[in-house]
Amino acid sequence: MADKIIVGGVSVDTRHWIGGRRVASAETFADSSPIDGAVLGEIARGGPGEAQAAVAAAKAAFPGWAATSRGERARILHAIADGVEKRLEELAIVETTDNGALLRSHRRGVMPRVAHNFRFFADWLLKLGHEDFETRGHTNHVSWDPAGPCVLITPWNAPLMLATWKVAPALAAGNTVVLKPAEWSPLTASLLADIAAEAGLPAGVLNVVQGYGSEIGDALTSHPDVRRISFTGSVPTAKRIAGSAAANLTPLGLELGGKSPLLVFADADLDLAVDLAVEQYDNAGQVCLAATRFLVEETVAEEFTRRFVEKAGQLTQGDPRDEGTDIGPNIHPRQLEKIDGFVQRAVADGARVVIGGQRKDAQYYAPTLLTDVAQDSEIVQEEVFGPVLTLQTFSSEDEAIRLANDTRFGLAATLVTGDPERAERVTAQLVAGTVWVNCFFVRDLQAPFGGSRLSGVGREGGTWSFDFYCDLKNTVTAPNGWSRNHG
């Protein structure tokens, strides 16, 4: 196995990063580009041995990093952000080649957000605190103590952004990290290890291991020295991780799937509603927050559909490296098979294809809209994670809320209405971790993010991230407790 591969002109190390050095494995797995299916290289395939070594390195590095001052931790996180910005173009081209998302999005939005993740949590660390309060004259002081080694398992749809959304607060909190990226998009995690080392992060504080969940993931999540596990991905995998962590009662943070609604009322600005609806095809539909279920008031459903079809027809699907491309490929042939299976079963059950409904070739699935779908059907109830949307109608506000909430998920919801009182009423009744009113995908790291029901456990962002990655301590001091003679 070659230790390094060249991707888009960028050198990427294919080995693990453990304890401040590169570590090879006896076995490898092939990493392919979703753009054309070409094999990019053979990646080190870790197992229990690499998991043990990575956790041991994180455990050994923990006391020193935990004792590092907040100011020094923040300085190093800002240095990592500097490194990301310095290599932004390299990170963008490698990630686009590896996971198929738009290069223009990586350049303008995603990679700048990666740097922002580190800067935000570095700055938040410096102001993290709680005002002291009194209980019968006694002083209560709340502090956030580093928890220990953390295992962070991240998905393939936004690899580096979602990884650093976990890595940054975990490191800021004083923890050490073992990062396990998805095997379908591992390359930018390797580059992050280089950037962190160059920024002066001590050896063992950040470790990156690659491989399959069944081989290395289980060994990480069941390890008794791991004090936190954070996972973003599917519900079945989350259940497996929860079972693995149960023996050690390791605290879990889970950000899982969604089947979010887009509610369009008759009083809505239809042009806005259509713009937001077409935006749900972003990243080829591979967005957990996507509002994949259109719920449209029946009096405007025909006009909404007409405008949507016209607008969606203007999208360009193709090579994500081209500036004019709007929709790139799906991540892997297995994902395309899964997407097409959902669509074909829905059609067999009576759904009507408005647009799309088929593969374009081995890597691309046509943007699809289905209607005449039953509320209890698979296509309405299960996450497809592809460019497949459904449209249903409603006749009353109560019916819209009932349909919106009638799934096992509760990650997000989007509401389009011209009536602020209706927005307030409906929002209050929606089961969702995030609700957007007349907008979509406006995100701030100060806000809590997570889901209800099967969409997750816990919240990330701002102080909520530190609450998860730390052991909170309350110190209670008696009044005049220092006046006694202790000899």
Instruction: Collapse the DSSP code of 280 into the 3-class scheme (helix H, G, I; strand E, B; otherwise coil) and give the result.
Output: helix
Q: Is residue 236 part of a domain?
A: yes
- The residues pairing with 410 across neighbouring beta strands, listed in sequence order, are 452
Where do the DSSP E strands lie in 62-137?
133-135
436: CB partners within 8 A, 6+ apart = 412, 413, 414, 415, 442
402: CB partners within 8 A, 6+ apart = none
Are 203 and 68 part of one and the same domain? yes
Distance separating alpha carbons of residues 412 and 258, to the nearest angstrom: 7
Distance separating alpha carbons of residues 164 and 172, to the nearest angstrom: 11
Print burial letters for 246-255: b (CB count within 10 Å at least 16), e (below 16): eeeebbbbbb
What CATH code is carried by the domain that includes residue 374?
3.40.309.10
Are 296 and 375 part of one and the same domain? yes
Are 290 and 378 part of one and the same domain? yes
pLDDT in tens, 78-116: 999 999 999 999 999 999 999 999 999 999 999 999 999
Are 239 and 273 part of one and the same domain? no
288 part of the active site: yes
Asked if 65 contacts 176 with a C-beta cutoff of 8 angstroms, the reply is yes
Q: Which segments of the chain have a pLDDT < 50?
A: 486-487
The neighbour count for residue 39, using CB atoms within 10 Å, is: 10
Are 267 and 240 part of one and the same domain? no
Asked if 225 contacts 197 with a C-beta cutoff of 8 angstroms, the reply is no
Are 362 and 416 part of one and the same domain? yes
Distance separating alpha carbons of residues 215 and 175, to the nearest angstrom: 25
What's the angle, vertex CA 155, arms to CA 392 and CA 96, rounded to 5? 95
What CATH code is carried by the domain that includes residue 57?
3.40.605.10
Backbone dihedral angles phi then psi of residue 453, each to the nearest 5 degrees: 55, -130
Of 290, 284, 362, 361, give the one whose Cα is nearest residue 330: 284
Q: Is residue 448 part of a domain?
A: no
With 0-12 / 13-18 / 19 or more C-beta atoms within 10 angstroms meaning exposed / middle / buried, residue 14 is buried
Give the pLDDT score at 362. 81
Give the pLDDT score at 487. 40
Are 413 and 464 part of one and the same domain? no
Catalytic residue among 50, 255, 383, 460: 255
255 part of the active site: yes
Number of structural domains, the chain? 2
Q: Is residue 479 part of a domain?
A: no
Q: Is residue 337 part of a domain?
A: yes
Distance separating alpha carbons of residues 142 and 138, to the nearest angstrom: 13
Dihedral sign of CA atoms 237, 243, 247, 250 in order: positive
When the pLDDT of each residue in the chain is averaged and rounded to a whole number, the result is 96
pLDDT in tens, 243-301: 999 999 999 999 999 999 999 999 999 999 999 999 999 999 999 999 999 999 999 99
Are 162 and 293 part of one and the same domain? no
- Report the DSSP pairing between strands 150-153 and 177-180: parallel
Print burial letters for 17-36: b (CB count within 10 Å at least 16), e (below 16): bbbbebbebeebbebbbbbe
Instruction: Collapse the DSSP code of 228 into the 3-class scheme (helix H, G, I; strand E, B; otherwise coil) and give the result.
Output: strand
Are 387 and 410 part of one and the same domain? yes
Of 197, 163, 199, 186, give the one whose Cα is nearest residue 82: 199
Which structure tokens are listed for 157?
């749809």
Catalytic residue among 50, 288, 297, 383: 288
Asked if 250 contacts 221 with a C-beta cutoff of 8 angstroms, the reply is yes
Give the pLDDT score at 361. 84
Give the pLDDT score at 486. 46
Instruction: Give the pTM.
Output: 0.95
Are 185 and 317 part of one and the same domain? no
Give the pLDDT score at 376. 97
Are 465 and 408 part of one and the same domain? no
Distance separating alpha carbons of residues 326 and 329, to the nearest angstrom: 10
Q: Is residue 311 part of a domain?
A: yes
Q: Is residue 284 part of a domain?
A: yes
Are 241 and 284 part of one and the same domain? no
Q: Residue 202 gets which letter from DSSP? A: P
Q: Is residue 483 part of a domain?
A: no
* Structural domain for 61, as ranges: 4-256+455-474
Q: Is residue 186 part of a domain?
A: yes
Round to the nearest angstrom and report the end-to-end CA distance of the chain. 67
